[in-house]
Chains A and B, each alone.
Chain A
């Protein structure tokens, strides 16, 4: 399946990209396993706290993602 992944704030600094398309062998997987997959590619992400949205809705770790979903990695910003 194909996923469109977007990174925000410091997470985009770590991945050095605002978004990317992932082509995966799996036909479905949970947000949690996607998170582990991405964090194994960009290990610095593990040092950050963030929430994950699937198709513009914040998702729990057990939500299943599917082909063509848009995934957003959203950290809280501190600045004011």
Chain B
């Protein structure tokens, strides 16, 4: 750590000091998702002198991101988020060591990416990946600093911190189809993720510095529209933790992860095979329309009834708009005993 002038205003804090600054310099933090939450997290951690940052995001910058994702500018549109964020972070603080993972976190790559990072910051935008992060973190025994947002509201908490409660203790995973969140974007106030991301960065710094009290076993709920904050306490649920850990270890050992997630080419090939049933589980009004001799439209809510008439050894391909609902439908059918299932991983919007 050569340059301490940059950090002098925080080194002067008795809680931090030169020793604390060295702890920050030696820390390895993985930020999953470089969007609304990821941008402020990366900005703040880099500025504070966190020595090694990993950035995971398979997305590209779009103009609609710019009202809230302040690491990006108009000229970045079309470029990969992870690499662009890394460039912006290095401009902010060239002494930070940045590793770019230009891909979405999934079961196949999760353990390779998480590697030796000490803390995961969950800045993703899908519930499925949040469970994946939770389970991987349980198997690796590292903490997760979580935040999520909805319109004007946000939630923050720290999971798996010193054997504390996990995401599954707060929100147990349900396998019934009625709980599926839809993929329709609900909109968000641009400032909101920046507020929540700053909260996450604060928790990360406290964990590294071992100061203050960490938001473990507590959910902070923030409402920007009415300026209300509140805390909800939640306890450790040993069964939920065990479920997550076992699931994490299965993923580590690559069990049950045979090729079920189809990319564009594999999906199109399936669509051309007559011995394969392709189920569009979107609502009838959703676009684009997708037709074919082996394609049926069975909205998710009707799937439970519909699947009763199917042969459990039939080859079935599921798809929806973004891949979230089809993933849940796949898990449901698997539980029902179907054996040859796959789904279009990124949804019809990826074609």
Interface residues of A (CB under 8 A from B): 8-10, 18, 46-49, 51, 53, 56-58, 72, 74, 76-80
Decide: A10 and B219 in contact? CB cutoff 8 A: no
B230 within 8 A of A: yes
Decide: A78 and B36 in contact? CB cutoff 8 A: no
Decide: A78 and B181 in contact? CB cutoff 8 A: yes
Decide: A9 and B153 in contact? CB cutoff 8 A: yes
Which residue from chain B places its CB closest to the CB of A6 in the assembled complex?
Answer: B230
Contact of B35 among A9, A18, A74, A80 (CB under 8 A): A80
Number of residues from B at the complex interface, CB < 8 A? 39
Docked complex Cα distance between A78 and B188 (Å): 12
Docked complex Cα distance between A76 and B188 (Å): 16
Contact of B234 among A8, A48, A58 (CB under 8 A): A58
Ranked 4 nearest A-B pairs via Cβ: A49-B179, A77-B148, A58-B234, A80-B125
Interface residues of B in 160-217 (CB under 8 A from A): 170-172, 174, 178-179, 181, 186, 188, 193
Which residue from chain B places its CB closest to the CB of A53 in the assembled complex?
Answer: B232
Known contacts A8-B221, A48-B179: does B154 contact A56 (CB below 8 Å)?
no
* B171 proximity list for chain A (CB < 8 A): 49, 51, 76
Which residue, of A9, A77, A80, has the highest number of chain B Cβ atoms within 10 A?
A80
Which residue from chain B places its CB closest to the CB of A72 in the assembled complex?
Answer: B232
* A80 proximity list for chain B (CB < 8 A): 33, 35-38, 122-125, 147-149, 193
Shortest CB distance A14–B (Å): 12
* B123 proximity list for chain A (CB < 8 A): 80
Decide: A79 and B234 in contact? CB cutoff 8 A: no
Decide: B188 and A79 in contact? CB cutoff 8 A: yes
Count CB-based A-B contacts (< 8 Å). Answer: 82
B235 within 8 A of A: yes
Interface residues of B in 219-259 (CB under 8 A from A): 219, 221, 226, 230-235
Contact of B150 among A47, A53, A72, A77 (CB under 8 A): A77
Shortest CB distance B130–A (Å): 8
Shortest CB distance B218–A (Å): 9
* B153 proximity list for chain A (CB < 8 A): 8-9, 77
* A72 proximity list for chain B (CB < 8 A): 230, 232
* A9 proximity list for chain B (CB < 8 A): 150-151, 153
* A77 proximity list for chain B (CB < 8 A): 148-150, 153-155
Q: A56-B233, A74-B219, A80-B193 given; name 18 further pairs at CB < 8 Å.
A: A8-B153, A10-B150, A10-B181, A51-B170, A51-B172, A56-B230, A56-B231, A58-B219, A58-B232, A58-B234, A72-B232, A76-B148, A76-B155, A77-B149, A78-B148, A78-B181, A80-B37, A80-B123
* A78 proximity list for chain B (CB < 8 A): 125-127, 130, 148, 150, 181
Shortest CB distance A11–B (Å): 10
* B231 proximity list for chain A (CB < 8 A): 56
Known contacts A58-B170, A77-B154, A80-B37: does B178 contact A46 (CB below 8 Å)?
yes
* B155 proximity list for chain A (CB < 8 A): 76-77
Docked complex Cα distance between A9 and B225 (Å): 12
Which residue from chain A places its CB closest to the CB of B196 in the assembled complex?
Answer: A80
Decide: B179 and A57 in contact? CB cutoff 8 A: no
Docked complex Cα distance between A47 and B180 (Å): 7
Interface residues of B in 30-88 (CB under 8 A from A): 33, 35-38
* B38 proximity list for chain A (CB < 8 A): 80
Contact of B232 among A48, A74, A76 (CB under 8 A): A74
User: What are 24 A-B pairs at a CB distance below 8 A?
Assistant: A9-B150, A10-B150, A46-B178, A48-B181, A49-B171, A51-B171, A53-B232, A56-B230, A57-B232, A57-B234, A58-B219, A58-B234, A58-B235, A72-B230, A72-B232, A76-B170, A76-B171, A77-B150, A79-B36, A79-B149, A80-B37, A80-B123, A80-B147, A80-B193
Docked complex Cα distance between A80 and B171 (Å): 17
Docked complex Cα distance between A69 and B194 (Å): 33
* A57 proximity list for chain B (CB < 8 A): 232-234
Shortest CB distance A63–B (Å): 12
